[in-house]
Amino acid sequence: MTPHSGPDRTAHPSAPGPFRFTTIAHTGRALLGPLSEASVDALLARIPIAAGGRVLDVGCGKGEILVRALERLGGTGVGVEPNPAFAAEARDRAARRLAPDSLRIIEARFEDADLPAHAFTLGICTGSLHAFGDWRATLEGMSRLVRPAGWALLGPGYWKQTPASDYLGSFGGREDELHSLPATLSMASSHGWHIETCHES
């Protein structure tokens, strides 16, 4: 455990509108996806970005992965997060652990963030691929945002097995919205990405 890795105890039960329930559900959690702190650190350790890089996290949540990336890699960062409660916690986390002005949180939807093309050495999107649309759109979108020979840390969902129709019907899902893991990785390769490592959660 690192000195700053204790539980996030800030709660925002009065978060507005569409963000209220996800805010309540993630109270007390710094990492909002199915990743441990050790897994995040191990994945970031595989990214050899020189000092002075620029990091983007789309749907950065409370900013924990983005802050850890900047602590390890240095440089500056941009986080995009439409949930006001999460964006506030990300700013607070950055203020406590990073140098002043090294991280900017854009409190907006991804499509309204007006991000420059090919400006980032590392792009992160581990739990918000819906911001792009789907897996294919995420791969294409990150290709436009990350510099040539840059890196991406992405977290798509996938089917471990073909989902049953009654399972899909229970939440209004569709079989074609996710793919098997081999197909998911193959799509990344076909969009010009070289897969350095794969972590299953």
| pTM for the full predicted model | 0.85
Q: Using CA atoms, how far apart are residues 90 and 61, in angstroms rounded to an integer? A: 7
CA geometry: angle at 153 spanning 152 and 156, to 5°? 115
What's the mean pLDDT in 119-129? 94
Average pLDDT, the chain: 87
Q: Using CA atoms, how far apart are residues 194 and 154, in angstroms rounded to an integer? A: 13
Q: What is the DSSP letter of 112?
A: G
Tell me the β-bridge partners of 153.
124
**In terms of DSSP bridges, do strands 120-125 and 103-106 run parallel, antiparallel, or are they unpaired?**
unpaired
What's the mean pLDDT in 121-138? 94
Q: Using CA atoms, how far apart are residues 39 and 197, in angstroms rounded to an integer? A: 12
Alpha helices in the chain (DSSP H): 20-25, 37-45, 64-73, 84-97, 135-145, 165-171, 181-190
Check pLDDT > 50 for residue 170.
yes
Q: Using CA atoms, how far apart are residues 125 and 14, in angstroms rounded to an integer? A: 26
What share of the chain has pLDDT > 70, as a percent?
85
Band of residue 5 on the pLDDT scale cut at 50, 70, 90: very low
Name the least confident of 4-18, 65-79, 173-187: 4-18
Name the least confident of 11-20, 87-96, 121-130: 11-20
Give the pLDDT score at 188. Answer: 95
Residue 117 φ/ψ, nearest 5 degrees:
-75, 145
